Chains A and B, each alone.
Chain A
Amino acid sequence: MRIALAFLAMVWPLSADLRTVLLPSKSPLITFRFVFLTGAADDPADKPGLASLTASMLARGGSAKMPYSQVVEAMFPMATSVGVHTDKEMTTFSADTHLDNLDAFYAIFRDMILEPGWRAEDLKRLREDGINNLRVTLRSNNEEELGKEVLYNAIYAGHPYGHHNLGSVTGLQKITLEDLKSFHRTRYTQANLILGLAGGYPASFLARVKKDFASLPPGKRDTVERPAPAAIDGFRLTMVEKQTRSVAVSLGFPIEVHRGHADFPAMLVTQSYFGQHRNSAGRLFDRMREKRGLNYGDYAYIEYFPSGMFVFEPAPNLARRQQIFQIWIRPLESPTAHFGIRLAMHELDRLVRMGMTEEEFQRTRDFLSKYVNLLTKTKRAELGYAIDSLYYGIPEYNKFVKDGLAKLSRDKVNTAIKKHLRVDNLHMVVIANDAGDWKKRLLGNAPSPMTYNSAKPEDILAEDKIVEKRRLPLKAENITIVPVEKIFE
């Protein structure tokens, strides 16, 4: 509950005027990010996927004036298109256009959002796309992303965050055109909208956009709290049975820290020290991949970070009221996977017990205070971060992080680690062949000694002796085996 309360204190502009985030410049490249504060968390319980399918119908379904094929035809010579992403609390429509094409692009874009076409053939196509994305692209063809999404679903079971952003197969199958129109009418309101614009658009353009979007229903700002996710009791394991040669692992638990929380800078340092995304400086990466060659990489997160296998920097506009702490262990070879899981737990345990040294703290803080500049290297990203800052009620992100880092000490970080992180009461997801066999192996807690293809230093071998025997406090009743075909259904 403490988590949600922080959001009630958000400072929104008091005027009835539409909220805007503007980064005007002289660049002829104009960036749009129109964010509606609604998303998968607002899906009705029996129709998960409604928010996402509504957004798809707008961005990829054409307007009342133009069928989608005409939208594509008109935008193609401008080399632009409308991107869409639905997360739990935010739905983002984004586009970049050249100043030459601003008026032509905007006229189409505006109609797509404000006067959608709601054609049955588009619903059929986009519903099938959603189902195929869940069943094929995610469930069958991407074990790493699957592991992460199953982890979120498990941690948030029974919570508004407890289903995939795209919904479920049965949810998508039930959604009607009337459902979509109703969601659009009630959730796409002025109160829920943040208009983000960057680049060299003319002054008169903004007035035009505001006037157009003032035709949306006024709506009311949400003050509904999200319930806290259920406490995790013990070491929970979801085994996903899938035909595969490797073993994908994700684990985590909810934390009360989000971008508006006082401990955010401390946890940002912790995340970076322990597992900076796609960076070889992280402790987990070093101990698992660099020293032992167990897999391709190992990282840690304090905020939702989808598509980590494709991108180096986190996408903006995935702001959430609640976050989890997560460890992503990239696919392990089956014979060394048990050891790899134990080593990840060993490292988490070490982090919680020992925190970081003064040198490690200083080094990580120095890194982050410069690295933060790279997160906003494009106007697109800068605009996205600025919108998130408005959402969280914090200053401009770079300043917020740099100021926060400046006030930190090693003790503050280590205190935050002890407060927010733990090695018990967590959820782990393992995707592997032979789930039944894995269950026995993990429950049995028999030693899983490592063998290497080359000589290793004494300290590594000595540590291995401890790690190979590390007990995972699993109980049979806390293990769920799910055939992959059942996921997202």
Chain B
Amino acid sequence: MKLITATMILALAAGAASEKRILPFDYEIHDFPNGLRLVTVPTPFPNVVALEIVVQTGSRNEIEPGKSGFAHFFEHMMFRGTREFPPEKFQAVLQQAGASNNASTSDDFTHYYTTFSKPDLETMLRMEADRFQNLDYPLPEFKTEALAVLGEYNKSIANPFQKLNEVMRATAFSKHTYQHTTIGFLKDIQDMPNQFDYSKEFFRRYYRPEYTTILVMGDIQPSQVKGWVEKYWGSWKRGDYKAPVPVEPPQDGPKSAHVDWPSPTLPIFSVAFHGPAFSDTEKDTAALDLILFLGFSENSPLYKKLVLEEQKVDILAGSNPDHIDPYLFSAFARVKKREDMDYVREQLLSTFAGFKDALVSVKKLDEVKRHLRYQFALGLDNSEAVARTLAYYIALRRTPETIEKLYESYARLTPEDLRAVARKYFQESSRTIVTLAPGGSR
């Protein structure tokens, strides 16, 4: 442990702004014959262990009509127990361990995470193995849990950004399952109590070793962890299902939509372009990440103009989330006065166009590269946070190495690369604009 401590601190100290490896600790990968993958990462943070179980299924896998939101609902059902560990017992074990435990679902993956003290690791691996293999819930509990999901939908209904996201996806995508959000459409959520049989099918399809990666991080001994995973997860049966996720055809012209918000709020302008699938080998993902910071971060000329100088906008942001299949690069602005919406629209669109026309300066590019490396380093202050970051990349490529590759890509990018990628993706024909304001669109 001491050796690792020293290595890590040296790596952190020297590595942040340099071109060296971004991850300041070693990891091991072990593939089991049934397709299950184990990633172990010992860290110098004492006593605490973070366990992440990543299943490569999410709302992307909701391929049948009427099933939007199901991956997330199923995540809830994973807490409804087995014969050996009914919910009360599952809960009691977690409570006795003083564990923090939860799960979340996104477009591409579902992950189950628990943070606890190291003496409880074997118990946790055993209990988790049981629910992943022997989940068994009765119909009444299934129907009750569907109502909790409706409650989860309700908690965010006042948030216009949630609605904006829903409408943006539904407008920009015509075939792919990314056209619905992870929480799903209200009508599908209201129908969930009737989908008991489908829930069993969902479990049979996706809760399989070949979809699953276990990440164990913290105060651990990898060989011991491997032994426990072999013991409790080794007999889990491999599945044979592959979801026929529809391919999104190229968009053939600009689209737009307006959300008529029922209560007072500031108007929001948002614009998205179809982007690439995540890649750690092609330049596209990395180049768009840099454009995101250059174009729409607090340090961007657009932010300085609209938020600080002209003060026409109070929130400006962009997003380029990594996805298994091609997703959206988007930017939005919350506008203080409705009469400025056209002006703000023109400013955002000309920012996108600017990346196609002009080369960004090498100095600005280097600043973003430094920012990304320091941002990563500053997040490495506890096992749970690191595990959460690694889980995100494991969901994409089942290995932490993808982070290294991505940061190597950042380091290599030139102004010409950014312009080429902007020209490739920021085309009017693949653009979708969604506005939100009380009352109709003008």
Contact = CB atoms under 8 A, between A and B. Distances in A.
Contacts of A214: none
Interface in B362-408: 366-367, 370-375, 377-378, 380-385
A370 B314 contact: no
A327 to B, nearest CB: 16
Contact of B102 (A78, A98, A141, A312): A312
Nearest to A199: B381
B358 interface: no
A128 B311 contact: yes
B382 A377 contact: yes
A308 to B, nearest CB: 11
B340 to A, nearest CB: 13
A453 B143 contact: yes
Contacts of A485: 264
Contacts of B96: 363, 366-367
A132 B307 CA distance: 13
Interface string A432-454: 00000000000000000000111
Interface in A105-138: 121, 124-125, 128-129, 132, 135-136
B370 A246 contact: no
Nearest to A30: B378
A56 B272 CA distance: 32
Contacts of B442: none
A452 B151 CA distance: 15
A313 B377 CA distance: 22
Interface stretch (A35-43, A184-192, A292-300): A292-300
B92 A363 contact: yes
A129 B316 CA distance: 13
Given A242-B263, A296-B155, A27 B378 contact: no
A29 B12 contact: yes
B288 to A, nearest CB: 19
Contact of A246 (B79, B154, B311, B373): B154
Contact of A29 (B116, B304, B377): B377
A366 B98 contact: yes
Given A69-B308, A136-B266, A27 B9 contact: yes
Interface stretch (B55-63, B156-164, B411-419): B156-164
Contact of B381 (A29, A294, A370): A29
B140 A29 contact: no
Nearest to B142: A454
B148 A380 contact: no
Nearest to B261: A140
Contacts of B336: 128, 132
Given A27-B381, A72-B298, A77 B266 contact: no
Given A27-B9, A96-B378, A377-B48, A76 B95 contact: no
Contacts of B45: 377
B98 A98 contact: no
A109 to B, nearest CB: 15
Contacts of A293: 143-148, 151
B263 A243 contact: yes
A452 B308 CA distance: 53
Contacts of B247: none
B265 interface: yes
Given A96-B378, A331-B155, A374-B115, A136 B143 contact: no
A28 interface: yes
A80 interface: yes
Contact of A312 (B87, B100, B139): B100
A101 interface: yes
B16 A98 contact: yes
B152 interface: yes
Contact of B13 (A72, A99, A366): A99
Nearest to B160: A141
Contacts of A452: 143-144
Contacts of B129: none
A159 B224 CA distance: 58
B154 A295 contact: yes
A125 B94 contact: no
Nearest to A25: B9
A479 to B, nearest CB: 23
B144 to A, nearest CB: 4
B371 A373 contact: no
Interface string A391-410: 00000000000000000000
Scoring A77, A125, A279, A456 by chain B CB atoms within 10 A of each residue's CB, the highest score goes to A77
B370 A289 contact: no
A225 to B, nearest CB: 37
Given A136-B265, A370-B98, A79 B157 contact: no
A242 B16 CA distance: 49
A101 B377 CA distance: 13
A372 B385 CA distance: 17
B235 interface: no
A455 B157 CA distance: 29
Contacts of B95: 281, 363-364, 366-367
Interface string A211-247: 0000000000000000000000000000000111110
A72 B91 contact: no
A66 to B, nearest CB: 13
B115 A377 contact: yes
A344 B16 CA distance: 51
Contacts of B150: 333
Nearest to B305: A69
A51 to B, nearest CB: 21
A27 B12 contact: yes
B133 interface: no
A287 interface: no
Interface in A49-106: 68-69, 72-73, 76-81, 96-101
A320 interface: no
B367 A129 contact: no
Interface in B311-341: 311, 314, 336
B12 A28 contact: yes
B262 interface: yes
A140 B97 CA distance: 40
B171 interface: no
Contact of B158 (A27, A121, A244, A289): A244
Given A68-B308, A132-B336, A454 B144 contact: yes
Contacts of A307: none
Contacts of A170: none
B193 interface: yes
Contacts of A101: 374
A20 interface: no
A484 B262 CA distance: 14
B98 A367 contact: yes
B144 A246 contact: no
A205 interface: no
B94 A76 contact: no
Nearest to A27: B9
Nearest to B263: A243
B297 to A, nearest CB: 7
Interface in B278-298: 297-298
Contacts of A140: 158, 263-265
A106 to B, nearest CB: 15
8 contacts: A79-B370, A100-B17, A140-B264, A245-B154, A280-B91, A289-B148, A289-B151, A374-B115
Interface of A: 26-29, 68-69, 72-73, 76-81, 96-101, 121, 124-125, 128-129, 132, 135-136, 140-144, 242-246, 278-281, 289-297, 309, 312-313, 330-333, 363-364, 366-374, 377-380, 452-456, 484-485
Q: List the 5 shortest-distance A-B pairs measured between CB atoms, nearest first.
A: A370-B98, A293-B147, A296-B151, A79-B374, A454-B143
Given A100-B16, A140-B263, 8 more contacts: A29-B378, A128-B311, A243-B263, A293-B146, A378-B382, A454-B139, A454-B141, A455-B140
Interface of B: 9, 12-13, 16-17, 45, 47-48, 79, 87, 91-92, 94-100, 102, 115-117, 139-148, 150-152, 154-155, 157-161, 193, 262-266, 297-299, 304, 307-309, 311, 314, 336, 366-367, 370-375, 377-378, 380-385
